[in-house]
């Protein structure tokens, strides 16, 4: 069957809506939800009304092994529930004026598209796919030139509507942001860093390297590289870059700003006089070695065994069932798992707060920051810390296990937790 100009216009409109949601503020902090949304949307556009299987999503989107069993692993259902709620949140805020509504019906792994009108409080009931968008169909004409003119006009108007809607959303966000309260979990967790008179510092790692990018680089080793060499300290990982962006978004929702500085330019005077958020492990964020650090979970190189020399998180006081070391995938194999530390400790000045967000790799660091930037995961953490609005967050240390697929953290869970007096 031939594809008409109106069908192409309709598809362009739907794709524009999908891309707008995918790049929205609502989904921006979760790469895993963005991947799931795009996968479901693409499938629904190609196969209208056909739901996907949980196993298919698990293996094709999240990289789960072939023996994945949904009866014993609820991760996909949890992610689907989060995405469903994110779509509701999107249309309650950024997407309030969008011409097309994208929904994820309960009980099925697919998304549906519905046309919207400015006066409609809810989307009209249509079939699961609604790609036809009857309200947007031009009247048929027997003259080919008339069909072409109508189709091109529809495409132009559709694109213009999306652009105008996006511009309106940006203006709406800019003008209303100051009046929107942040989620309670975010406000509770980040209170020590927003209650002061000055902005907190975010210190991101940039390790010391020797060599050159075109010929090969490696970490600087003081024992082996004692002779004068040019040290490159202006490189950082992708996880740190995305982490700083997430933190900026969180503090924006809390109506505060942050000051960002790379670790090699950080001084002890900065440490004494400010609330600090360190992004990256002491292996790369070298400033962490000069200030008070964690007591229970410490970054160390494995002293022996097949993984000798690999960076791990040492569990200094293992409890029953806990490993003495938390170590991710070997450097010689693809990264499929990592471990991270989230630690809130007093600063060099006890009146100041210090937060460490660090993984054994840059992806683990990204996962740690995503964890404290997401309302749902923060609720889990606050519940385990037994935090109420009255007592606030006390010093603690947490180890996260991170599952990684194609360089993206897709699942993060707490595996060890300590509260400090």
For 342-389, what is each residue's pLDDT tens digit?
Answer: 999 888 788 888 999 999 999 999 999 999 999 999 999 999 999 876
**Residue pair 407/213 in contact by the 8 Å Cβ criterion:** no
Model confidence band, residue 317 (pLDDT cutoffs 50, 70, 90): very high
Residue 53 token pair: 């299987």
Residue pointed to by tokens 């629904």: 44
Give first-to-last CA distance, the chain, whole Å.
71
Closest by CA position to 156, among listed 11, 13, 18: 13
How many Cβ atoms sit within 10 Å of the Cβ of residue 68? 17
User: Pairing mode, if any, of strands 231-232 and 276-279?
Assistant: unpaired
Model pLDDT for residues 140-152, shown as the tens digit of each residue: 444 454 454 445 4
Residues 6+ apart with CB under 8 A from 362: 236, 237, 238, 239, 240, 280
SS3 200: coil
Q: What is the bridge-based pairing of β-strands 408-419 and 297-301?
A: unpaired
Query: What are the Cα distances from residue 243, in Å, to 200, 323, 366, 367, 379?
Result: 15, 28, 5, 8, 20
Is the pLDDT reported for residue 76 higher than 60? yes
Percent of the chain topping pLDDT 70: 77
Q: What is the mean pLDDT of the chain?
A: 79
- The closest of 361, 363, 343, 362 to 353, measured between CA atoms, is 343
**Percent of all residues in the chain with a pLDDT value above 90, rounded to a whole number:** 28
Tokens found for residue 43: 């499938």
Do residues 9 and 155 touch, judged by C-beta distance below 8 A? yes
Domain ranges of the chain: 5-179, 184-419
List of residues 6+ apart from 420 with CB closer than 8 A: 295, 296, 345, 394, 395, 396, 397
CA gap 396, 294 in Å, rounded: 9
Residue 4 pLDDT: 55
Q: Is the pLDDT of residue 412 over 90?
A: yes
Nearest to 311 by CA among 343, 285, 276: 285
Query: What is the distance between the alpha carbons of residues 70 and 56, in angstroms, rounded to a whole number?
Result: 11
Lowest mean pLDDT across 52-66, 278-292, 317-331: 278-292
Over residues 180-229, the pLDDT tens digits come to: 677 889 999 999 898 887 889 898 887 777 777 777 877 777 777 765 56
Distance CA 238, CA 101 (A): 33
């Amino acid at each position: 069957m031939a594809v008409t100009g109106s069908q192409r216009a309709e598809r362009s409109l739907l794709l524009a809506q999908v891309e707008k949601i995918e790049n929205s503020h609502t989904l921006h902090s979760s790469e895993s939800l963005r991947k799931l949304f795009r996968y479901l949307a693409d499938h629904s556009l190609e196969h209208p009304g056909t739901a996907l299987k949980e196993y298919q999503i698990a293996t094709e989107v999240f990289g789960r092994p072939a023996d994945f069993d949904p009866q014993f692993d609820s991760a996909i259902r949890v992610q689907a529930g989060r995405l469903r709620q994110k779509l509701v949140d999107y249309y309650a805020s950024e997407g309030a004026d969008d011409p097309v509504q994208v929904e994820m019906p309960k009980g099925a792994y697919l998304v549906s598209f519905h046309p919207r009108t400015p006066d409609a409080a809810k989307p009209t009931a249509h079939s699961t796919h609604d790609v036809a968008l009857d309200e947007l169909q031009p009247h048929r004409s027997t003259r080919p030139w008339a069909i072409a003119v109508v189709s091109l006009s529809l495409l132009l108007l559709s694109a213009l509507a999306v652009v105008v809607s996006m511009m309106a959303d940006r203006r709406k966000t800019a003008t209303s942001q100051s009046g929107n309260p942040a989620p309670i979990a975010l406000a509770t967790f980040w209170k020590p860093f927003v209650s002061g008179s000055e902005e907190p510092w975010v210190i991101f790692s940039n390790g010391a390297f020797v060599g050159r990018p075109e010929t090969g680089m490696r970490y600087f080793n003081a024992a082996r590289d004692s002779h004068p060499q040019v040290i490159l300290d202006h490189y950082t990982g992708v996880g740190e870059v995305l982490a700083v962006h997430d933190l900026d978004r969180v503090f924006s929702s809390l109506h505060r700003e942050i000051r960002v500085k790379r670790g090699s330019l950080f001084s002890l005077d900065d440490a004494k006089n400010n609330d600090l958020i360190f992004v990256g492990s002491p292996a790369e964020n070298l400033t962490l070695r000069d200030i008070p650090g964690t007591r229970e979970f410490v970054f160390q190189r494995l002293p022996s065994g097949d993984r000798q020399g690999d960076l791990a998180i040492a569990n200094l006081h293992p409890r029953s069932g806990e490993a003495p070391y938390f170590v991710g995938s070997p450097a010689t194999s693809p990264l499929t798992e990592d471990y991270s530390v989230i630690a809130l400790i007093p600063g060099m000045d006890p009146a100041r707060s210090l937060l460490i967000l660090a993984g054994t790799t840059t992806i683990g660091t990204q996962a740690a920051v995503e964890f404290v930037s997401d309302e749902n995961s923060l609720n889990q953490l606050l519940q385990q810390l037994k935090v109420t609005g009255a007592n606030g967050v006390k010093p603690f240390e947490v180890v996260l296990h991170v599952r990684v697929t194609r360089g993206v953290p897709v699942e993060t869970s707490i595996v060890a937790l300590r509260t400090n007096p």
